[in-house]
Chain A
């Protein structure tokens, strides 16, 4: 295998793994956050606005980790610096 093939292979496989793991873990933790928020709303319906706002902010915090993984995967697939370096040589 020449270096072009190795770079393409490594980029594609890494992008797949990045997306897979980066979807899995935030999904688990977001599910946990929503579940506990729902049960606390069921216990205290009066506090629903506060809980909802805090939940949204927390969910955005959790989701941003998934977004980082997505951005890295997109860079690997469409704007790969190593690939561009090899191609321009």
Chain B
């Protein structure tokens, strides 16, 4: 049984391997970039706007709102990173409605890469907001005894981000594959619908957690409830 789409290899030369994960990832990236380019080619500020512009504005406004509610004051600076994460994971999870499609997020290498992006983005935003000293100070919160624990939590939460997304999406595909061999007609469809729900929720969770980690690094004075909760877990 295939555990991940990494095992479907199309072309191999030296250490360069082109597998299904890579192809699907680039396909989704191309889809996102081309559609965004096509829609934003002629933006208008009239009363009447095209329906695609309205659709895109809804997405951007919604993501901005969510970022603001989690506790980052100026969402404009972060939507480039967090919005891209959300849209990429969302599109790649929701693609399971097409038959024969394997989501790239069902491979640990994709989710690990996304988690590493979050790991690097946290110090990037932290240093650019509060300076190097201010960022390093967050590791000494609440006292300096907590330094090793803060470092461990940095690593473990990255691992958790990767494994959570991978496990959820991989288990969805696995359950459908197992059910197809037991009761091959109606029941897999229901599980596929559940997979759509899980995929959407996981995309949301991944981006909210990234936002919460960034908000924790830049040390807002006014913390939201979600940020407080995460810091107590």
Whether both chains belong to one complex is answered with: yes
Beta-carbon contacts of B180-214 to A below 8 Å, as 1s and 0s? 00000000000000000000011011001100100
Residue in A57, A63, A70, A79 whose beta carbon sits within 8 Å of that of B208 in the complex: A57
Task: Tell me the smallest distance from the CB of B72 to a CB of chain A, in Å.
Answer: 14
Contacts of A63 in B (CB 8 A): 164, 168
A71 proximal to B (CB < 8 A): yes
A24 proximal to B (CB < 8 A): no
Kindly state the separation between the CA atoms of A49 and B1 in the bound complex, as whole angstroms.
Answer: 41
Residue in B3, B170, B174, B208 whose beta carbon sits within 8 Å of that of A53 in the complex: B208
Residues of chain B from 155 to 171 with CB closer than 8 A to chain A in the complex: 160, 163-164, 166-168, 170-171
Contacts of A53 in B (CB 8 A): 69-70, 208, 226
A interface SS class: helix
Beta-carbon contacts of A48-69 to B below 8 Å, as 1s and 0s? 0110011011101101100110
B43 proximal to A (CB < 8 A): no
Known: A67-B167, A68-B163. A60 touches B202 (CB 8 A): yes
Contacts of B163 in A (CB 8 A): 64, 67-68, 71
Name 23 A/B residue pairs within 8 A (Cβ), A-sorted.
A50-B69, A50-B224, A53-B69, A53-B70, A53-B208, A54-B226, A56-B201, A56-B204, A56-B205, A56-B208, A57-B229, A58-B229, A60-B201, A60-B202, A61-B233, A63-B168, A64-B160, A64-B167, A67-B167, A71-B163, A71-B166, A74-B174, A78-B3
